[in-house]
Amino acid sequence: MVRLGSSDASSSVGPYDEKPHSDFNLTGLGRGGQQVTKAREVYAKALETLVELASLQTAFMILDEVIRATNRRVNAIEHVIIPRLENTIKFIISELDEMDREEFYRYELLSYYTWVQ
C-alpha cells in the first residue's frame, strides 16, 4: 500500500511504502515457533550440562571422602600399628635372646659336670 507522508527524520513529504502492521514483528515473535524451539534446545542442553556437572560434583565429593578415610587409615598404620608391631618384634627378639643365653648356660653347666666326672 502506498501512502503520502513523511518517511524519515527530514520530514520530506512523498510517497512511501507502508508495511502492514503486525504485533508479532514488534515483539520478536514473528518467527515464534523457531524461537521457542531454539530456546527449548538451548535449555535442554543447559539442563544436560547442569546434570553432568552435578554428577561430577557428587563424584568428587565421594572421592574426597574416600581419600580422607584412606589418609586416616594411613596415619593410623604409620603412628599406631607399625610402632606396636616394632615393639612386639623387639620383645620377641629380647625373649629369644634370653632363651638363647639360658640354653647356653645350661649347655656350659652340663659340659662342666660331664668334664668333672
DSSP 8-state code for residue 30: T
Cell numbers representing residue 68 in the block:
580422607
Q: What band does 6 get if pLDDT is binned at 50, 70 and 90?
A: low
Average pLDDT over residues 92-112: 94
Number of domain units in the chain: 1
Cell numbers representing residue 15 in the block:
510517497
Rounded alpha-carbon distances, angstroms, from residue 64 to 68, 70, 92: 6, 10, 40
The pLDDT of residue 110: 87
pLDDT tens digits for range 41-71: 999 999 999 999 999 999 999 999 999 999 9
Print the domain residue range for 100: 2-116
More confident residue, 38 or 115: 38
Q: Is the pTM of this model over 0.85?
A: no
Q: Fill in the amino acid letter for 74.
A: V
